[in-house]
Structure 1
């Protein structure tokens, strides 16, 4: 079974066997220093994504008809072996490739399903302590993408908390609101089950937390703010959309002795890992 990957920089399609594609995604999406069980959980999630996409014949976001996915965050970040060999050298290269290969081979053919079908195996970097319900970020309410606690991130992720400062003028401009607006008009109207901001009042308007995050380029939709003179200091908690598996949370669970399957069961409510022997077939 081959996956056709469009290499964006090189502007060409690389055909790669399924399990080698999963290895390339694992290298692109999760730090190699993570625990083996976290890497295995990520490998299963990555495989689930591509199996679901191929089964649906989904080629959205791909230039032309010759590829199934790109190598970017539009789909899954994929790093070919040629680049991995340049990324590391000597014993480090051998050690890291062995670690990647082990995570892939020990989960070979395994995907996450819900009621017998591959799930939307979403993942993100760091939670604020909780994951999000899918409908609080996208329109669809999926039963296996429910808000769950993820307390591990706070103590181990370098991306858990971040503070950024900008002028109030820039703040209002990015939000598309008059610069004459008083910062006192800012207030949280509602929060999600995942403790992120659902709705924020700002200058007579109501914005979603996602809108604010995207317009300001913030890491997360959970944030607090403080105004000092003509500047606003914004502190965010977590990194990413918050739906599905937290990668740093997965590493925290692995450090605590939990298996890849326990990690996936925690973040994908009611889902199960199965071995698939019926991947979609297509000529090379």
Structure 2
């Protein structure tokens, strides 16, 4: 390595690289206090006004400069509006830069303990308001573990087997950290909907899911040293999917695996032939009066014409009086609001009958599948995660 000085310089560079990759925040003062990443979660866009309060004394800080613009006592409820390029806080003008303003505890190390109320709804962490052309964006500035408390019970029932809930906690943590800056053009990391992860703040929290989060504190799944895109869904229907059969690109750790139960979570949807062909025509697939549908039966583990190896519909052929059309299973799912692409289609009595299984895209962890592995095979959470995310490593990031 060379001299002692050069070695120290090398260590310093590595520390800087880590800090740049994961901007960290000191939180709390309890025995479990640690450094952990901070997340910006978008809650509202285009807001005209918002009512704020906090259990702690707050400072109003300009995000860009860090300058304290004003202070607010604890439990003081006040309104914020935005007009002519300036925020009005309780009727008083607060000038801030384009990066917005934070309503935050003065000692950033206490961010994890802060509780903010936004229009009466409680969230852990601070509030950031970002000015826009029409109204402003409301953002929750929150540490990762406190964010997860409002996510995990929304994504998986907390009363399920604790090993499945722990697996869900690690998947949610890995997903969040791998997707930081996903909404960077909007000024935050993640949204609070299913596009990212469902997040409802303190009102969603449950004791058992918080217990699972605490038991896996800081644990993430990594691939080649980085947190993975730990996708998950409700139920695979019998076999999860390869990433390239959904997205078109191969991700090494999102491989198709079989479940304990085949053809789980059955569902049905019937659509009149007229309505069906009208929707096809709306999307540029004009076939006239429907005559036939070509899609082979579901078979798990072996690809066939029109189906992936996981059994999902890859392409379906429709023949009509004005021609034929081939439509992908993913398009059919989106156009007709189907629960999954694991379906069979029949045409009888002027009705298109769709019978399917599972719920979701089929990538990564199947929540009902994880529950079955925990309940019936007594899998612990590391084994559940290894089943669904192949070739990954489980590491304690902080």
TM-score bracket, normalised by the shorter chain, equals 0.7 to 0.9
Distance (Å, rounded) in 2 between the aligned partners of 1:110 and 1:197: 35
Gaps of 5+ in 2: 1-36, 46-118, 120-136, 297-304
Distance (Å, rounded) in 2 between the aligned partners of 1:128 and 1:198: 15
Bigger CA radius of gyration: 2
Gaps of 5+ in 1: 86-96, 278-284
Distance (Å, rounded) in 1 between the aligned partners of 2:254 and 2:195: 20
Distance (Å, rounded) in 1 between the aligned partners of 2:199 and 2:243: 25
Question: What is the RMSD of the two structures over their aligned residues, measured on CA atoms?
Answer: 1.9
Aligned residue in 2 for 1:3? 39
SS of residue in 2 equivalent to 1:145: coil
Distance (Å, rounded) in 2 between the aligned partners of 1:53 and 1:183: 45
Distance (Å, rounded) in 2 between the aligned partners of 1:59 and 1:244: 19
Equivalent residue for 2:156, pick from 20, 23, 30: 30
Equivalent residue for 1:146, pick from 250, 255, 261: 255
Aligned residue in 2 for 1:94? none
Instruction: Give the number of the structure whose residues are more often helix, by fraction.
Output: 1
Aligned residue in 1 for 2:276? 171
Summarize the Cα distance change of 1:206–1:179 in structure 2 as closer, same or farther, 3 Å threshold: closer
Aligned residue in 2 for 1:223? 343
SS of residue in 1 equivalent to 2:277: helix
After TM superposition, the score normalised by the length of structure 2 is 0.61
Q: Deviations over 1:133-183 (max 9, x none)?
A: 00000022011111100124756xxxx110111111111122224463333
Distance (Å, rounded) in 1 between the aligned partners of 2:153 and 2:306: 38
How far is the alpha carbon of 1:225 from its aligned partner?
A: 2.2
SS of residue in 2 equivalent to 1:190: coil
Summarize the Cα distance change of 1:250–1:153 in structure 2 as closer, same or farther, 3 Å threshold: farther
The one of the two structures with greater contact order (alpha-carbon pairs below 8 A, sep at least 6) is 1
How far is the alpha carbon of 1:46 from its aligned partner?
A: 0.7
Whether the aligned pair in 2 keeps the contact of 1:167 and 1:232 (CA below 8 Å) is yes
Aligned residue in 2 for 1:21? 147
Equivalent residue for 1:64, pick from 186, 191, 195: 186
Equivalent residue for 1:253, pick from 348, 373, 384: 373
Whether the aligned pair in 1 keeps the contact of 2:273 and 2:290 (CA below 8 Å) is no
2:201 maps to 1:80: yes
Summarize the Cα distance change of 1:168–1:273 in structure 2 as closer, same or farther, 3 Å threshold: same
Aligned residue in 2 for 1:233? 353
Distance (Å, rounded) in 1 between the aligned partners of 2:182 and 2:312: 32
Q: Deviations over 1:228-279 (max 9, x none)?
A: 31212111111111011101101111112111111100001111211113xx
Distance (Å, rounded) in 1 between the aligned partners of 2:277 and 2:240: 29
How far is the alpha carbon of 1:32 from its aligned partner?
A: 2.3
Q: Deviations over 1:86-132 (max 9, x none)?
A: xxxxxxxxxxx220111000000000112322111011111121000
How far is the alpha carbon of 1:185 from its aligned partner?
A: 4.2
Aligned residue in 1 for 2:84? none
Summarize the Cα distance change of 1:45–1:185 in structure 2 as closer, same or farther, 3 Å threshold: closer
Aligned residue in 1 for 2:309? 193
Q: Which 10-residue stretch deviates more, 256-265 or 170-179?
A: 170-179
Instruction: Give the number of the structure whose residues are more often strand, by fraction.
Output: 2
Q: Which 10-residue stretch deviates more, 200-209 or 103-112?
A: 200-209
How far is the alpha carbon of 1:63 from its aligned partner?
A: 6.6
